[in-house]
Amino acid sequence: MAKALVLEEAKKLSLREIDLPSGMGPGDVRIAIDTVGVCGSDVHYYTHGKIGPFVVNEPMILGHEASGTVVEVGADVAHLAPGDRVCMEPSIPNMTSKASKLGVYNVDPDVRFWATPPVHGCLTPSVVHPAAFTYKLPDNVSFAEGAMVEPFAIGMQAAARAKITPGDVALVTGAGPIGIMVALAALAGGCAKVYICDLVEGKLAVAAAYDNVEPILIPRETPADVLRAATGGWGADVVFECAGAAASIQTALEAVAPAGCVVWVGMPVDPVPVDIVLAQSKEIRMETVFRYANMYERAIALIGSGKVDLKPLISETFAFEDSIQAFDRAVEGRDRDVKLQIKVAQG
């Protein structure tokens, strides 16, 4: 039995003991969890009990953005040792699948992802995880930053899919945690400047604290007009759509330059119309993002180098005993909140 933050059903959380399997395989490690981030998907399961076809039909532990300390290693594990500070990739693919063999394990239909029904998450003091998806943190990267690697890896995936050319000008629609991290990944990937738009002034203020990130407050300004004015009428070389709203999808198509690229990162709750003729008339390239593959080590290297500083995005950290309050705070959606975290480790 282990204490955990358990989603019993929609709108009902408990911090209680739950029976969890404790066995380890030869390629596994046991990790004492230190810090876990509160993700929008966790909050969506809390408020709605489902995301698309993934439905919470039985109690499920939440949490998938995590860091911690290795306390035990399996017989076949050579690259990690007890005491190592690590972060963990929450998806466990079928390594024999065609997707894994092609290097695109993020779209493996057999993938098991923490806190996606029926798979338990990691908001509990200890987990067992494959060593192959457990990564050592540099000494200068904190546990809090380590728990930010998971969402930042999405930004890295988006930047890689965009095939940025150094000096590109980009637009990001949506200044939530993913939107801001996409903006930072785009700058690290070579963009000269990133514009970011949102309806919430507080979140834009957090984003605008970074160099070369320019905020656009909707509806006071129209993103397409701002980008055209900034680029001599051309438009954004790359647009990263991170809001998942119908209006933002149209904004992306209007703001992108001819022969530019739109990367679809945000996921609309329901199908939305797409102006294909507008996209065709510009002959733009479209790319899609679903999680990430082979991005963790690159994300950790960027954070460790100091080129990407995610610490300003951590709005507040809650004690493990206050996990339910952390989720209720996330549901509030405060204007300046970007990332809330839970400190699971004691002391």
Calpha distance 16→237 (Å, rounded): 50
Calpha distance 212→44 (Å, rounded): 32
> What CATH number does residue 192 fall under?
3.40.50.720
pTM recorded for the entire structure: 0.95
pLDDT tens digit string along 247-275? 999 999 999 999 999 999 999 888 899 99
Q: What domain count does the chain have?
A: 2
| Segments forming the whole domain that contains residue 326 | 2-148+310-343
Are 17 and 129 in the same domain? yes
Q: Given this model, what pLDDT does residue 53 score? A: 87
Q: Does the pLDDT value for residue 46 go beyond 90? A: yes
Residue type, 50: K
pLDDT tens digit string along 22-45? 889 999 999 999 999 999 999 999
With cut-offs at 50, 70 and 90, classify the pLDDT of residue 21: confident
Q: Given this model, what pLDDT does residue 290 score? A: 95
CB 6 within 8 A of CB 14: yes
For range 70-77, the mean pLDDT: 98
C-alpha 93, offset from chain centre? 18
Q: Does the pLDDT value for residue 174 go beyond 80? A: yes
Q: Given this model, what pLDDT does residue 16 score? A: 97
SS3 label, residue 288: strand
Are 7 and 143 in the same domain? yes
pLDDT tens digit string along 297-314? 999 999 999 999 999 999
CB 338 within 8 A of CB 315: yes
- Residue 297 counted as domain residue: no
Q: Given this model, what pLDDT does residue 347 score? A: 62
Are 158 and 143 in the same domain? no
Are 104 and 159 in the same domain? no
Q: Does the pLDDT value for residue 291 go beyond 90? A: yes
| Strand order across the 213-217 sheet | 213-217, 193-198, 169-173, 236-241, 256-264, 285-288
Q: Does the pLDDT value for residue 222 go beyond 80? A: yes
For range 140-155, the mean pLDDT: 98
